[in-house]
Amino acid sequence: MKSELISEPRIKRLLTVLTVLCATPMVQPLIPFNILWMPLFWAASAIPVGALLTVSFWVGMGNYPLVARLLSGLFFAIYAALWGCVSIVLVQSQNSPNGVTLNQPLFWITQLAQFALLMLLFGGMFMVLRHWWRLERSTRDDSPTSSKAQFSILNILLLTAVAAVVMALIRVSRSTAAENIVSGTLAATALGFGVFFFNTACAAFATLSPTPTRRNCILVLSISAVLGVGISVAAGQDRAAWCLIFGGALISVIPTAVVLLSLLVVRSVGYRLIRKSAIVDDAPLADLTPMVHNNQQFGSNELSQRAIE
């Protein structure tokens, strides 16, 4: 995002809100620590994840220098992780006398490293996407809403591939969790990373594409809820209690909702995700005018020179 976007009053207020949302895990010590209240417990942890995903989008797609974006993203990730660490310490001190304490540096290093790694991974994935898409201020009017949703063959193939990968990871993590802890953990980690990145990317295109957003946002939230249930099933939470399935859906829906609302604010100040090929196709109409004029002038000068000879 360019400097004029950061200087927008709405964006400043958005950054303030995201900073405050990172402190929501501090309400966890006030929540009863039992299985029925676990969805609310997870929801409080999911809100900072949404803020982290929003900042990772800026790290990957922003127009600031790369080093500045990376340092800012890592600082935000560490800041968000600190609130979660303090919350974990408080909760375990209330419910377990042998829980984590403040003087255990390995715990703090592990938690901070996890958030920093997530920021780098998600930011890196969006850096890959910026080779084809660009975030810039657009003066075009949004495309009118079509009466029917239209999908190309490529869209259907991509959706089918994503569904196949998700189902495979759910099956692997569910079936190997008890037999092989390492394989189950790797499959569950890959599933979680894929789900969160897919939700964030879909939220970005739903809110910042040059099309109306209402139907897109509803579709993204619905898909994120289904994927959240898939995460719960992969973890075997359906065998424990039905409320944990609802909690799994919240783990996926709440960060996606935070990203959607945040990027709608970015959209409100005029920014859109535009394919770079579209920018190249439109630019020559204006850029080639001086070239054509120079060629015409060169041709007329050449004809005059021949007439003189």
Element at 12 (helix H, strand E):
helix 9-21
Distance CA 282, CA 296 (A): 22
With a CB cutoff of 8 Å and minimum separation 6, the contacts of 280 are none
Q: Counting Cβ atoms within 10 Å, is residue 29 exposed (0-12), middle (13-18) or buried (19+)?
A: middle
Among candidates 80, 101, 98, which has minimal Cα distance to 90?
101
Question: Mind giving me the DSSP string for 221-265?
Answer: HHHHHHHHHHHHHHTTGGGT-HHHHHHHHHHHHHHHHHHHHHHHH
What average pLDDT is seen over the chain? 79
Q: 271-275 and 133-137 as β-strands: parallel, antiparallel, unpaired? A: antiparallel
Please count the CA atoms within 13 angstroms of the CA of 57 that sit on its side-chain side: 29
Among candidates 233, 251, 255, 253, which has minimal Cα distance to 242?
233
Lowest mean per-residue pLDDT among 170-184, 185-199, 252-266: 170-184
Residue identified by tokens 């006030």 is 30
Averaged pLDDT for residues 41-69: 89
Question: SS3 for 81?
Answer: helix
How is residue 186 written in tokens? 């790797």
Predicted local distance difference test score (pLDDT) of residue 84: 87
Please write the tens of the pLDDT for every residue from 217-245: 999 999 999 888 888 888 777 676 777 88
Residue 291 scores a pLDDT above 70: no
Asked if residue 94 lies in contact with residue 239, where contact means CB atoms within 8 angstroms, the answer is: no
What is the pTM for the complete model shown?
A: 0.79
Please write the tens of the pLDDT for every residue from 123-170: 998 999 888 888 888 766 555 545 455 667 877 788 788 888 888 887
The vertex-28 CA angle with 27 and 30, nearest 5°, equals: 70
Averaged pLDDT for residues 62-68: 85
